[in-house]
Structure 1
Amino acid sequence: MTETVLITGCSSGIGRETAHCFLEDGWEVYATARNPADIQSLGDAGANVATLDVTDEDDAERVVERIVDEEGRIDCLVNNAGYAQLGPVEDVTTESVESQFEVNVFGPHRLLREVLPHMRDRRTGTVVNVSSVSGRLATPGMGVYNGSKFAMEGISDALRPEVSEYGIDVVLVEPGPVDTAFAERASDEVEGLERSDAYETLYSVLDDTEAVGGGGPGAVAPRRVAETILDAANLTDPAARYPVGQVAKVAMLGRFVPAKLRDKFYRLALSLVAKNPLGD
């Protein structure tokens, strides 16, 4: 019987490529996004498309019920939808923090609550939570985004042993920089901040798209992340985590550096930027 996958955030980048990878592998794909017009091409390619705003509980319930009615099963959930709210922690409004967690944390949690009962009934399934190297290593100017991804890492680590007795695997995919429109969205969020005068040097870094994870050195293609997600879904005993790209693998080592040394490194890096602004 054909296996079924539900993927969120398929309008572009990692989500779109993930839908294509699963289609090519013969899965029944349910590709979702807030705006169905953004994923019509996936429908033309053979995916089932659906409107899904992960911040809307009714949307989550409706889409999962549809899949179970039509397919009788959900073999894999890919929680991919998300964005980055960048900026110094002090300058980011509480409302913006709430919005960040609404999409990046509460959204995946809504989908988990809808999907897990069906996986438990069948005693099989895989949950792939698309995290980030930013969920393992915090950096100045990304605190709010770091917080949301740290939260998903913690939730996933707790969930994994909770559901293992039901044959359900929980996997974290942790890319470094990815060559997508993700950084442009992040740049828009930075531009919307009411900037204080205290963090001018940090803003000079955040205003550089490549510096915050665009198509700069070390960035991987979204297809590579998508293939990692597919591989995790197909394995009978997947790993708990899959860092994607050399930057992600190297950055993971930063967790083992004492916090005071990391802080000194960040201060040094920012002081060098202050003396030699990016692009000069």
Structure 2
Amino acid sequence: MDYIVVTGTSRGIGFELSKLLADAGYAVLALSRNDSPIKNIGHKNITAFPFDVSSAKDREKVNEYLKANNAKVLALINNAGKLVNKPFMEITEEEFKSVYDVNVFGVASMTKLIVPFMDKGGHVLTISSMGGIQGSAKFPGLSAYSSSKGAVLTLTELLAEEFKETGPSFNALALGAVQTEMLEEAFPGYLAPVSAKEMAEYIMDFALKGQKMYNGKILQVSSSTP
């Protein structure tokens, strides 16, 4: 069976993205620590179980599931993210590492897990942030988050080079402000110009078609000047 794997599906963009893909007829493996919101939809095209992208045990559970279902993965959307908003001198080593465990090492580990289930036409799409773009506007308190989002942009370029002969394709979207729970936690009271569903619609289209035109590219998806 052909699957699209999405991480970070309990809320925000990942939640909306999973619904849109399922409604379009794709089999979606929706992965998040809290699987209740997406599972409660009861969509026949969505499979969900509790999953922590930083857990080797949970990743092995995904590996076993895909093997058992003779799966082919059309696209992996690395959407799971963690944000800690705290001044650099106050953020602990454990907090800093926890952000990287999800946003960098989790992305790398999930990619290594899923690539064997993909063919040359597959697409690994990583959701990053404008905060990870060199020269973009930066905000106090986001030293761990934004630097981790910069790391996966370079990782995307490197993997595209490494897999350019065999596939799959690797791209990343650096998102600007989107009205999600994570944005509200980082910037209470700020109203973004784009809703989670609107961004999910764009991401779905790019995940399904973008690899035909792009590989190793970082696209800045922001309507405001960074």
Question: Scaled by the length of structure 2, what TM-score is found?
Answer: 0.89
1:129 alignment counterpart = 126
CA contact (8 A) 1:4 1:28 kept: yes
Instruction: Tell me the SS of whatever aligns to 2:86.
Output: coil
- CA radius of gyration, larger in: 1
Q: Map 1:107-118; keep pairs closer than 5 Å.
A: 107-118=106-117
Deviation of 1:13 after TM superposition, in Å, equals 0.4
2:162 alignment counterpart = 162
Q: 2:199 aligns with which of 217, 225, 228?
A: 225
CA contact (8 A) 2:71 2:117 kept: no
The 1-side partners of 2:126 and 2:30 are apart by 15
* Aligned structure 1 segments of 4 or more residues deviating by more than 4 angstroms: none
CA contact (8 A) 1:75 1:125 kept: yes
CA contact (8 A) 2:77 2:207 kept: no
2:53 alignment counterpart = 54
CA contact (8 A) 1:82 1:104 kept: yes
- C-alpha change, 1:24 and 1:71, in structure 2 (3 Å) is farther
Between 1:161-170 and 1:138-147, the stretch displaced more is 138-147
Gaps of 5+ in 2: none
Q: Map 1:187-198; keep pairs closer than 5 Å.
A: none
2:76 alignment counterpart = 77
Give aligned pairs, total: 220
Two-structure CA RMSD over aligned residues (Å)? 1.9
The 1-side partners of 2:185 and 2:95 are apart by 14
Q: Map 1:1-280; keep pairs closer than 5 Å.
A: 3-44=2-43, 46-119=45-118, 122-136=119-133, 137=136, 138-186=138-186, 209-210=188-189, 214=190, 216=191, 218-235=192-209, 236-239=211-214, 240-247=217-224, 250-251=225-226
| Structure with greater helix percent | 1
Deviations 1:165-202 (A, max 9, x none): 1131111112111111113444xxxxxxxxxxxxxxxx
Deviations 1:205-237 (A, max 9, x none): xxx514xxx4x2x43111122122211222152
CA contact (8 A) 1:7 1:32 kept: yes
Gaps of 5+ in 1: 187-207, 252-280
Deviation of 1:71 after TM superposition, in Å, equals 4.3
Deviations 1:4-36 (A, max 9, x none): 101111001000011012112221111111122
Deviations 1:80-112 (A, max 9, x none): 111211222111111110111111111111101
Deviation of 1:70 after TM superposition, in Å, equals 1.2
Deviations 1:62-84 (A, max 9, x none): 11331232142111111111121
Q: Which has the higher contact order (CA 8 A, sep 6+)?
A: 2
Instruction: Tell me the SS of whatever aligns to 2:40.
Output: helix
Question: Scaled by the length of structure 1, what TM-score is found?
Answer: 0.73
- C-alpha change, 1:68 and 1:131, in structure 2 (3 Å) is same
CA contact (8 A) 1:23 1:29 kept: yes
CA contact (8 A) 2:9 2:35 kept: no
Deviations 1:123-159 (A, max 9, x none): 3310010101111133333211111101111111111
| Structure with greater strand percent | 2
The 1-side partners of 2:46 and 2:87 are apart by 40
1:257 alignment counterpart = none
- Identity of counterpart residues, as a percentage? 29
Instruction: Tell me the SS of whatever aligns to 1:124.
Output: coil
